[in-house]
Amino acid sequence: MAVFYRPRRLLYPTEGLMYLWAMEDTTPQRTEVGKLGEFGLIDRLTAPFHPSQSSTIKGIGDDAAVLDTGGDRLTLVSTDMLVEGIHFDLMYTPLKHLGYKAVVVNLSDIYAMNGTPAQITVSMAISNRFSVEALEELYEGIRLACEYYEVDLVGGDTTSSNKGLILSITALGTVEKDKVVYRSGAKVGDLICITGDLGAAYLGLQILEREKQLYMDQPGIQPDLEDQQYLIGRQLKPEARKDMIAAFAHNGLKPTSMIDISDGLASELFHIGKQSGVGAYLEESGIPIHPDAKMMALKFQLDPTTCALSGGEDYELLFTIDPADVDRVRFLPDIYIAGEIVPASDGFTLHTTGGKRHPLTAQGWNHFG
């Protein structure tokens, strides 16, 4: 429902409602959200829900929900929200780029199911800080993404916010019934594969944050972004791996499990491990990192591998394959074999280039931390 610069009318006197709530509240405990973390919170809140519809094939727990609405294709649904000040900073994010990225991060989840996106809806909450022209810029980015990825904008919602911009996009897609790939299909002995390169978007963000800080300290100063096109591009204008899904189809490859890398490689590997009931042995030398990202990590005195493991926003794909399928990926450009699935009892290990073995820790973004 859209409420535009107009407070919603209360149906009941507030005091009455508060009295009712007080009556129901038999366990006046208070647990901080930060204690559970993002995924712990989702698990706890959704535990009492059990799908009752036969059309719900996969509910919570994957990149997209999977629905069987009849016919030979399954329907995929995924939603993501971007909040100003948390996910983006308009001091260095052009609205056109923001619109494009907001679409891409949703489509990435549809591709992560081995699916093809078809439609999006766009919901936004805006403050009066935004002019019509500014919002047209945002929508131009959305339109460009729709055009490139061949999806239709079919609806949404518009409402007001006290402060800042909130964007929520839902993507719908489809996948052939026997082609859908879940996070839960990895088997012991499967090879771990990664597309593209990791850590660059995080380093792009570090550059933008540094330049913002310099600008705030000395407003006249011009940002020095000239030679960092690649890293900044990876942060401001990511792409989803539509091409990889096409390459899988072309090569007759069906990964055993797949997830998109939005929160960092380590966090995503843990999701595959948890959903599949397995562990992972990851080779540091197999993690693809762009030379520009390596250079910039060193400039920031960061470990490039840590940037890849925990940086996030790469929107690459992490997937596993049956070793019998290795020839189907071996010569595909931009796919790297980086490890092996092991029994859950062996846990998650990083084999470093220095020859050491370290337990891997999940360091995804904890927005509530």
Give the residues lining the site for Mg ion (CB under 5 A): 63, 109, 260
Contact 233, 290 (CB under 8 A): no
Distance CA 160, CA 138 (A): 16
x-marked contacts with ligand ADP along 204-223 as a string, rule CB under 6 A: --------------------
Q: Is 197 in the site for ligand ADP (CB under 6 A)?
A: no
CB of 331 to ligand ADP, least distance (A): 29
Q: Which residue is nearest to ligand ADP (CB)?
A: 63
Q: Is 262 in the site for ligand ADP (CB under 6 A)?
A: yes
Query: Over the range 11-47, which residues count as b (16 or more CB within 10 Å of their CB) and which as e?
Result: eeeeeeeeeeeeeeeeeeeeeeeeeebbbeeeeeeee
Q: Is 314 in the site for ligand ADP (CB under 6 A)?
A: no
- Which tokens in the block code for residue 274? 């948890």
Q: Is 61 in the site for ligand ADP (CB under 6 A)?
A: yes
Distance CA 28, CA 70 (A): 46
Partner interacting with residue 42 (select from Mg ion, ligand ADP, none; CB below 5-8 Å by kind): ligand ADP
User: Which one of 54-62, 116-124, 201-209, 295-303 is the stretch in contact with ligand ADP (CB under 6 A)?
Assistant: 54-62
Of 2, 33, 42, 326, the residue at the interface with ligand ADP (CB under 6 A) is: 42
User: Which one of 57-65, 158-166, 174-182, 326-334 is the stretch in contact with ligand ADP (CB under 6 A)?
Assistant: 57-65
Side chain identity, residue 81: M
Q: Is 86 in the site for ligand ADP (CB under 6 A)?
A: no
- The 10 Å Cβ neighbour count of residue 332 is 16
Query: Over the range 71-92, which residues count as b (16 or more CB within 10 Å of their CB) and which as e?
Result: eebbbbebbbbbebeebbeeeb
- The 10 Å Cβ neighbour count of residue 291 is 10
| Residues at the interface with ligand ADP (CB under 6 A) | 42, 46, 60-63, 80, 109, 262
